[in-house]
Structure 1
Amino acid sequence: MEATTRTEIALKDSPPEGHSNRVCSHCQFMLNAVTRCTTDHFTGLREKPRRPVNSDAGAAQPAPTMDTSPKETRMTTQGFVATHARDAKFERGLRSFFEYRDLGIKEATQGRVVAHVIRAAGGTEFSSQPHLHQTEFQLVYVLKGWIEFEYEGQGVVRLEAGSCVHQPPGIRHRELGHSDDVELLEVVLPADFKTEEVSAVNS
Structure 2
Amino acid sequence: MSAKIMIVEDDPDICDILSYNLETADFDPIIFHNGKDALKACISDPPALILLDLMLPGMNGLEFTRTIRRDNRCQDLPIIMITARSEEMDVLHGLEQGADDYITKPFRPKEVVARVKALLRRRLREEDKIFQWKELVVNFSQRHVTLNGKDLELTPKEFLLLEALIEARGRVLSRDQLLDKVWGFDYYGAPRT
Which TM-score bucket, shorter chain as reference?
under 0.3
Superposition TM-score, scaled by structure 1 size: 0.20
Which structure is richer in relative contact order (CA contacts within 8 A, separation 6 or more)? 1
Superposition TM-score, scaled by structure 2 size: 0.21
Pick the structure with more strand per residue: 1
Pick the structure with more helix per residue: 2
